[in-house]
Amino acid sequence: MKAKLIEAVATGIEAADTNKDGKLDLPEFIAFTSTFSETITKEFAQYWFRGLDIDITGRLTFDVVRSHFQMMIDHWDEIENNKPPVELLKVYYRGMDRDRNAQVNLEEMRNFLQSNDEKMNTHMAAVKLRKMDKDNSGTISFYEYCISFGHEVPKSIDPYDGKGPSQCCLIL
């Protein structure tokens, strides 16, 4: 798959842009992912797209797509060894966090996991969530998500890179 991904990044992004507007919408992104993998489900690609679409525009620039997949190529061995880089974890976490409240609950986790594994059920997702949920809140923060993949990160790490829900207050 890595060789197909390298080829797709080199030539497939622009080819997937069927309306030639210089960006990929969801159907174009799904078509692009199918050029390097036959196992990525449409549902999983939707989560992936949502995770990349941090501005919630419904369109991804070529640069966003290219830099994301180049990062995957550059970190291929870590990803294959189940230690994806924090930048990839951000994308998956944002994809899971449907309400963008920076807390992934059981339903969000189960739906995300089921998009890539049809055998996943609520019980299995609950077991995974409990293992990640270090503070026993019933949800997982991005910090807890990173820790579960072996990354030591600050508790204040922002999966939305400052473009998500505010954790601050307005001072008048």
Q: What is the pLDDT of residue 165?
A: 59
Which among 54, 17, 53 is positioned nearest to 35, based on CA atoms?
17
The whole-model pTM stands at 0.90
Bridge-partner residues for 170, per DSSP?
A: none
What is the number of domains present in the chain?
2
Distances (CA, A) of 23 to 17, 64, 116: 7, 9, 25
**Alpha carbons 113 and 28: distance in angstroms, whole number:** 23
Q: Give me the DSSP letters along 112-167.
A: HHHHH-TT--HHHHHHHHHHH-TT-SSSB-HHHHHHHTT----TT--TTTTSSS--
Q: What is the pLDDT of residue 1?
A: 85
Look up residue 58 and give its amino acid: G
What does the block give as tokens for 149? 């993949």
Residues 55 and 97 occupy one common structural domain: no
Q: What is the CATH number of the domain that holds 58?
A: 1.10.238.10
Bridge-partner residues for 68, per DSSP?
A: none
As a whole number of Å, the end-to-end CA separation of the chain is 53
Q: What is the pLDDT of residue 142?
A: 96
**Alpha carbons 38 and 156: distance in angstroms, whole number:** 37
**Alpha carbons 47 and 49: distance in angstroms, whole number:** 5
Q: What is the pLDDT of residue 161?
A: 85
Q: For the chain, what is the largest distance between any 2 Cα atoms, rounded to a whole number of angstroms?
A: 54
Q: Is residue 80 part of a domain?
A: no
Q: Is residue 154 part of a domain?
A: no
Q: Is residue 36 part of a domain?
A: yes
Per-residue pLDDT of the chain (172 residues; tens, 9 = 90+): 899 999 999 999 999 999 999 999 999 999 999 999 999 999 999 999 999 999 999 999 999 999 999 999 999 999 999 999 999 999 999 999 999 999 999 999 999 999 999 999 999 999 999 999 999 999 999 999 999 999 999 999 999 988 765 445 444 5
Q: Is residue 66 part of a domain?
A: yes
Q: What is the pLDDT of residue 162?
A: 83
Q: What is the pLDDT of residue 154?
A: 92
- Residue numbers of the domain that contains 30: 2-74
